Chain A
Amino acid sequence: MADLTTDFLGIKSPNPFWLASAPPTDKEYNVRRAFEAGWGGVVWKTLGAEGPPVVNVNGPRYGVIHGPDRRVLGLNNIELITDRPLEVNLEEITRVKKDYPNHAVIVSIMVPCEEQAWKDILPRVEATGADGIELNFGCPHGMSERGMGAAVGQVPEYIEMVTGWCKKYYSKPVIVKLTPNITDVRLPAAAAKRGGADAVSLINTINSIVSVDLDSMSPEPSINGKGTHGGYCGPAVKPIAMSMVSEIARAPATAGLPISGIGGVTTWRDAAEYIALGCGNVQVCTAAMTYGFKVVQEMITGLSQWMDEKGHKSIQDFMGAAIPNTTDWQYLDLNYVAKAVINQDDCISCGRCFAACEDTSHQAIVMSEDRKFSVLDAECVACNLCVEVCPVENCITMVQQPAGTVDPRTGQTILDGYANWTTHPNNPDSVAAE
């Protein structure tokens, strides 16, 4: 049996599945049940400063992109940080951590960008016994209008400064949660590292309008006829988040900085992919909000089975394993030549490969009178579009052409060995191969 326990910044948890700071972690009642259901840790819903709590809208907070069977593909929210009194949250965190010493309890915090505000709250959070804090520099709606959340996360200097305050007034691990609503995620990550962050977590939600009501002409969710952008999460954002995670894992300035992966983790496979890209654990929200806490059981058993199949004894065994294979385009092997091959036994003759290739790609698939589809090697650039639009998995595959043979498309003999754009004769900046 694979060992799923994780040690993230010295914080132990029975598995890498944490609930992200969000509505599911807003209160003791839920967090206790989440731990009982199997979640390895929680990041408590973001706490604000002492005083009257924020207020939320009293109309809809969520909007969703659905699949045809109402599958939740993307979730948008305009909810703010916790709207419960600070004192209540701190008391609950204290009780929960005492009762669950082997689970991770992280406290998310968002207070104004003033040293005193952080100096005031951090000792009180420390007193709860929680394992660490996560700085919410990512929330893109509402709080950002007040100079917090993403408004901080979009300015690397602020990140560095506030992270520094936290390291000064708090003794346990500090995780900086990053916003994706920036142009280059490496800059805020590096700033967090300079400020002394123990880890970064990403992504927070993406600015989004999920739909417009074409009768009322209001963005949705609509509050009495008006809407605002929210934060987008769920399966739809996973590719964006994974790219950002990989950038931080690869960048020299941040390489080795622990990462908690967030964004559309719905199954064990999503988690395994994030971990392969260098994450020490993952945080989940939308899957729990869609299916309830029980969904973690699939993640735990699925990851465990896959690790057993692959011979991974612990999360460490494959953590970051895909990073060495994540590279820049310029280093991709231009001597790798593939051609699409259609398995005629599996083909159901829908013709989607043909329509896609003929109308939008390279006219490399021909259709016979009796609806048989075949690939013209002389035209096929191995773009993979046919593979992806084919409704039958593995019916069309990309087959590598052996070195020494001639690619009928280019008329060139396929060379052995690796060669990339940096040395390609068409590249004006190419460096002649030695």
Chain B
Amino acid sequence: MTSPMTPGIAADRLSNEALAQNFADLHVPLEPHEVRVAADRCYFCYDAPCVTACPTDIDIPLFIRQISTDRSEAAAKTILDMNILGGMCARVCPTEVLCEQACVREVSEGKPVEIGRLQRHATDSLMAKNIHPFSRAASTGKKVAVVGAGPAGLSCAHRLALKGIDVTIYDTRSKAGGLNEYGIAAYKSTNDFAAKEVAWLLSIGGITIENNKTLGMDMTLDGLSSDFDAVFLSVGLGGVNALSMSNEDDICMSDAVGFIETLRQTTDLASIPIGRNVVVIGGGMTAVDAAVQSKLLGAEQVTIAYRRGREAMSASRYEQDLAASHGVKLLFNVQPVTLEALGTSAALVLEYTATKDGRLTGTGETMRISADQVFSAIGQTLTTDGGLALDGRKISVTGAGRTSRDRVWAGGDCASGGDDLTVTAVAEGRDAAMDIYATVMGGAN
């Protein structure tokens, strides 16, 4: 067996026991008594700020009150009414910048009600009993195609199915779930939760999933438009932005998205090779997820290098602190230049940056850090636009996800607006579904 000190890139740096411990639930579920105490802290605010802060408008005070009276399933129904992926959102939502940031107890005492964990308690209780608290309306005979089985697509499909629409979801991957299945740190979605949640969601009925079907290869938007009453595009951002370094091809460089996906799909964490010295380039959630998991796999030194200052990082302060607490070093205002040989290892040359006249530029001053493996996490890009009008690098939408094309809606990361969160995608899918329903049933557009 190797160890964190083994040079280069190696598998098996930690024992299976250590890995199992490292990749266990980040936030362990609340025990029943903890639930009561946590729920009691909610003030049941009037027109509560936490609800305003929730992209899916979950009635948080109500569901917490339902929990406090031992009615966790009623609480779950309150959550799922607004957010059918409330189970996953309870795990991955950056609550520290959403509901819990707005909680009046955060404002007054710096300790919010643990909304995320309470939400998990409610949704887990319901799913553990395999209850699906919704029943499908009679079939309307209308058909809608959903392209992409990620959070936006699943949310849209469920709402449409609920309303009696027949839904076919096409997904390019072999498993449904999108980023829930492939793109979230393993310790946030343990025990195959994403797949279980999809199976539970599909139990509404009326939804067919066709896997390994890619828009532009296996079908076209024109074809879908003629075969279905409406189309919802939720294809996500399939491509990854590339770094530009002078000798990119020479180095052990890979994209963080792929690394995270490998971690999520493996059944043997020890088999995943990881560098002794890992550098992650980027400043978002993907960078944090890749860096923390590198450390958890047994990398000795892990560094996040971000070209701007801390305040510009899209990863929340909570996520930054999570990384730091795992021993990840955060470097700000540096950008990669090239990789140099450094004995048996390699050194990444980073150049300091500064903002001049509103533009970020290198200062010319450089530093070197050991780097056996470099992950790029500098954003993802749209790979399929179906010929729709774009807004910047995303599909342009107005209202509840209406695109430039009649009877085609879009939502989630591929669509303009929103902030690329699971919870935002769920809201967009849900709202588009209601607009689609009204449109296909009313015949107007």
Contacts and interface: CB of A to CB of B under 8 A. Distances in A.
Interface stretch (A24-32, A141-149, A343-351): A343-351
A371 B49 CA distance: 9
Contacts of A68: 36-37, 39-40, 68
B107 A348 contact: yes
B104 A348 contact: yes
B108 A392 contact: yes
A389 to B, nearest CB: 9
A349 B107 contact: yes
For this complex, into which size category does the number of interface residues on chain B fall? 10 to 19
B46 A355 contact: yes
Contacts of B33: 70
Contact of B43 (A67, A354, A391): A391
A204 B107 CA distance: 45
A354 B46 contact: yes
A258 B48 CA distance: 52
B45 to A, nearest CB: 4
A245 B44 CA distance: 36
A67 B68 CA distance: 11
Contacts of A391: 43
Contact of B45 (A69, A70, A351, A392): A351
Contacts of A69: 36-37, 40
Interface string A344-379: 000011111011000000000001000100000000
Interface string A74-91: 000000000000000000
B166 to A, nearest CB: 42
Query: Binding site of A, secondary structure by majority: helix, strand, loop or mixed?
Result: loop
A352 B45 contact: yes
A351 B39 contact: no
Nearest to B47: A351
A185 B381 CA distance: 80
Contacts of A350: 43, 45-46, 104
Interface in B4-48: 33, 36-37, 39-40, 43-48
Contacts of A70: 33
B120 to A, nearest CB: 19
B63 to A, nearest CB: 16
A69 to B, nearest CB: 5
Contacts of B44: 352
A65 to B, nearest CB: 14
A351 B52 CA distance: 14
Contacts of A351: 45-48
A391 B109 CA distance: 12
B24 to A, nearest CB: 27
B43 A349 contact: no
Interface in B233-270: none
A355 B33 CA distance: 29
Contacts of B46: 350-352, 354-355, 367
Contacts of B107: 348-349
Contacts of A349: 45, 49, 104, 107
Report which residue of A349, A354, A355, A392 has the largest number of chain B beta carbons within 10 angstroms of its beta carbon: A349
Report which residue of B37, B45, B48 has the largest number of chain A beta carbons within 10 angstroms of its beta carbon: B45
A349 B43 CA distance: 11
A352 B40 contact: no
Nearest to A67: B40
Nearest to A373: B46
Contacts of A354: 46
Report which residue of A68, A69, A367, A392 has the largest number of chain B beta carbons within 10 angstroms of its beta carbon: A68
15 contacts: A68-B37, A68-B40, A68-B68, A69-B37, A348-B107, A348-B108, A349-B104, A350-B45, A350-B104, A351-B46, A352-B44, A354-B46, A367-B46, A371-B47, A371-B49
Interface of B: 33, 36-37, 39-40, 43-49, 68, 104-105, 107-108
Given A68-B37, A350-B43, 9 more contacts: A68-B36, A70-B33, A348-B107, A348-B108, A350-B104, A351-B48, A352-B46, A354-B46, A371-B47
